[in-house]
Structure 1
C-alpha cells in the first residue's frame, strides 16, 4: 500500500532570521565601481567551475575557456601523466594566444607567431634560435592557474595561493561526490548571454517565489495544491555556500510528450527524488556563481559568469552517465534539454526587465522575503568578501 503524500510546511522566518531582514542596496546590481570590487574580491579569489573531466578523456585533450572577469583565456589540458592542469593561453615569448579552438586534442601547443612550442605540462619544449634569448626554458613555461576537481567538476582559481577546494566546499564535497555527475560521461549544453548583472541572473534560479507566475505551464512537477508556490522543504548553509531541498509534486501532471520521452519511469522518478526523501530534490549552490540541481531524471547545472556590471553569460548543462543506448534514449535526452531551454526562455525576459529597472537608478533598495533567503545569503557573502578585501588592501597600504 502506498504511503499518503506528506504535507508541506514552508521554511519559517525564524529559520533564516540570522541572515537579516533589512532591504538590500540596489547599486551593487548595476554599479560599475562595485562590480570592480566584486571582480577583485570575489571572482579572482574564488574557485570557479569551468568544466567536467569527461571533456578531457585522454592525454592531449584540451578545452579553452574565456574568463572575461579575469581578462583571461584559459587552456585546460590533460597531460601525459593523466593529470589535468590549467594555464593562461598565452605564449611566454610576446603574449600571443596559443589556441583558438574551443576544444580538441594536441600533443603540443605551438605559438602561431614564432613557433614557440609547449608540452601538455606547460613546459617550453623548443623555440627557434632560443640561445639568443639569454634565458632558460624553465623560466618560459606557461603561466599556471590553480585547478582542482570534485565530483568530476573542474574548478580553477586565479588566486596564486588558494585554500584547497575541499576546504573551500566546507563539507559539501562528500555529498557532491555521491551524485551521478561524478560519473558523468557526456552532457547537453546551452549557452546564453544576457543584459543583466550576474547576481540578478543567478538569483532568479535560487528562489521559487516566481514559479507560479512565470512558469505556470512548465512548473507542474513542482507546484501542487499543498504547495502552490513550489517553495522548498528546507534550506542549508555551509559557509558561503547554500543548499535547498526542492519540493516535488507527489501527483505530477505528466504531459503526453514527457511520458513519451521518459517512459513509465518519469512519474515514478519524480516521486522518488534523489537525495532528501520521496518528494524532494537537492540543490547545491556553490559560491559565487555555480549551482547543481540533482533530479530523478538527470543532473542539471548552471554557471553564471560576470562580463560587466550589467551583462553576464550563463552555461546550462545536463549531465548524463553513459552514451545513448538507443533512439528512445537519444530522444529523451534531447527532449530534456529542449525543456530546459523552454523554461529558461520564460525567465530571461523578466531578468532583463529587472536589470533595466535597476539600472535606471530609480530604486535605492530591493527587498527579499523569507522564501528568497538564498538570494540574501549570496548578497551577504559577496558583501562580506568585498569588505574583507577592502580591509586587506588598507592594511597592506599602511604596512607599505
Structure 2
C-alpha cells in the first residue's frame, strides 16, 4: 500500500486551467429534452459496464440486465466455447422476453409463449410447427449486442459502429487489468435509486470538497492535517476518462473494531497477492458512468445508470478474490461493504436536495472550483457529444 507523508501538496490550479473556469449551464441536469439527446449521443454510443466475468464462470451461466436508457433487457451468456455473448432478451417470434431470472445456468433458453428454443450461441434450435412460418432457422437467431471484457469488467455497446473496448479505454485499459477487480471471483453488492440526475449523482463521488461537511466522522480517514478537504494528490485525463490519486491520512483515528477489520482485510489482501498490485490509491473514472477504486483492502466499483432526467440508479460492488475462508475474513468483508454503504447513505439526501434546487429553475448556471476538475471534465465530455449530435439532427441542445 502507498505510504503517505504528513505534508500535502495541493495540485496547482494552473495545471487544470485547460479545462476552463467558467460556470456551466444548470439545464442539462434536469431538462428532459437534453436528457433525451444525452441518451442518444452518450449512452447508446458508449461502452457501458453491466457486470463482471465472475458472475458467469461456467458454460451456460447467464445474467439478465435491465438497461432503461436503451429500453432494453439483455441476456449475457457464456457459451460452450467459453465466449461471452450478449443478446436482447427478446424472442424473434413475437417479442416475448425469454428470461425472468436475474441470473442462472442453463444449456438453452425457451420462450414461455410458444416454446421457441435457443442455444447459448443465440441460434434457434427448435420451434413448434416451424415449417408453417416459411422461414430459415438461421434468420431467427437472437439479436446480439456488442459485449467485451477488460480487467474482469463486462461492457456492452449498442452502437454498431463502436470502436473496440480496449481502444475506447485507451491507456487506462492496462491499469484496469492491474487492479484488484481483475482478480475478483466474488463480490458484495449495494444498489440504490435516487431522485437525481445521473451526472449530479456521479459528481458527488468525483470530488472530496464535501467530505468535511457531509462525512465529518465516517470520512475522517480522508481528511485532516494540512489537507482539510481531503483533496487528491494528483489528477489525470485520457480522452473522455479521468483519474485521481486518493490521499489518505497518515495517522487516521480508528475505533478498535475498525482497526481489527482493517487488519483482517490487509491479511486477506496479502494472502491473495493484492497488496503488491499498483494503483492501490487510484480512482479510475471510465466515461460515462463507471468508476473503480483499487484500494487493496476495499476494492470497489460504482456504476450510475440514468433512469430519467431527474432519477438514477447506482450499483456499488466490493470485490474479493476467493470466497470467505474463515469467520475473520467474513467479518472484514462484511464491514467493508457496510462502511461503503453507510458513507454513501450520508450522501443521498444532500444529492436529492441539490436536484430539487436545480429542477426549480432558480439557477442558470452552476460552479466548479479547480479541485472539482473531474466533475467539469465529465460535463465537458458529455456536452460535446450532445451538441455534436444535436447539430447532426438539426436540433438545439
Give deviations 1:340-378, integer Å, cap 9, x for gaps: 111001000000110011111111100000011000000
> Distance between the aligned counterparts of 1:58 and 1:83, measured in 2?
10
* Counterpart position of 2:257: 257
RMSD of aligned alpha carbons: 1.7
> Distance between the aligned counterparts of 1:81 and 1:273, measured in 2?
33
Instruction: Establish whether residue 182 from structure 1 lines up as the match of residue 182 from structure 2.
Output: yes
* Counterpart position of 2:392: 392
Q: Which portions of structure 1, spanning 4 or more consecutive aligned residues, are displaced by more than 3 angstroms?
A: 264-267, 272-276, 391-395
Give deviations 1:165-199, integer Å, cap 9, x for gaps: 00001211011111121110000000000000000
Do the aligned partners of residues 273 and 367 (structure 1) sit closer, same or farther apart at CA in structure 2, a change above 3 Å counting?
Answer: farther
Do the aligned partners of residues 4 and 83 (structure 1) sit closer, same or farther apart at CA in structure 2, a change above 3 Å counting?
Answer: closer
Instruction: Establish whether residue 35 from structure 1 lines up as the match of residue 32 from structure 2.
Output: no
Which stretches in structure 2 are left out of the alignment for 5+ residues? Answer: 270-274
* Counterpart position of 1:129: 129
> Distance between the aligned counterparts of 2:246 and 2:5, measured in 1?
15
SS at match of 1:247: coil
SS at match of 1:92: coil
* Counterpart position of 2:95: 95
**Residue 307 of structure 1: how far off its partner (Å):** 0.5
Contact 1:274 1:295 in 2 (8 A): no
TM-score (norm 1): 0.94
* Counterpart position of 1:71: 71
Do the aligned partners of residues 333 and 136 (structure 1) sit closer, same or farther apart at CA in structure 2, a change above 3 Å counting?
Answer: same
Do the aligned partners of residues 130 and 264 (structure 1) sit closer, same or farther apart at CA in structure 2, a change above 3 Å counting?
Answer: closer
Instruction: Establish whether residue 86 from structure 1 lines up as the match of residue 86 from structure 2.
Output: yes
Which stretches in structure 1 are left out of the alignment for 5+ residues? Answer: 396-400
SS at match of 2:37: helix
Instruction: Establish whether residue 358 from structure 1 lines up as the match of residue 358 from structure 2.
Output: yes
Contact 1:194 1:313 in 2 (8 A): yes
**Residue 13 of structure 1: how far off its partner (Å):** 1.4
**Residue 228 of structure 1: how far off its partner (Å):** 1.1
> Distance between the aligned counterparts of 2:185 and 2:4, measured in 1?
37
Size of the alignment, in residue pairs?
387
The 5 Å alignment of 1:1-400 reads: 5-263=5-263, 275=278, 281-394=281-394
TM-score (norm 2): 0.94
Contact 2:169 2:286 in 1 (8 A): yes
**Residue 266 of structure 1: how far off its partner (Å):** 5.3
**Residue 392 of structure 1: how far off its partner (Å):** 3.4
Give deviations 1:208-253, integer Å, cap 9, x for gaps: 0000100110112211212111000011000000000010111111
> Distance between the aligned counterparts of 2:32 and 2:117, measured in 1?
39
Do the aligned partners of residues 264 and 47 (structure 1) sit closer, same or farther apart at CA in structure 2, a change above 3 Å counting?
Answer: closer
Do the aligned partners of residues 208 and 273 (structure 1) sit closer, same or farther apart at CA in structure 2, a change above 3 Å counting?
Answer: farther
* Counterpart position of 2:272: none
Do the aligned partners of residues 60 and 274 (structure 1) sit closer, same or farther apart at CA in structure 2, a change above 3 Å counting?
Answer: closer
> Distance between the aligned counterparts of 1:57 and 1:48, measured in 2?
20
> Distance between the aligned counterparts of 2:296 and 2:379, measured in 1?
30
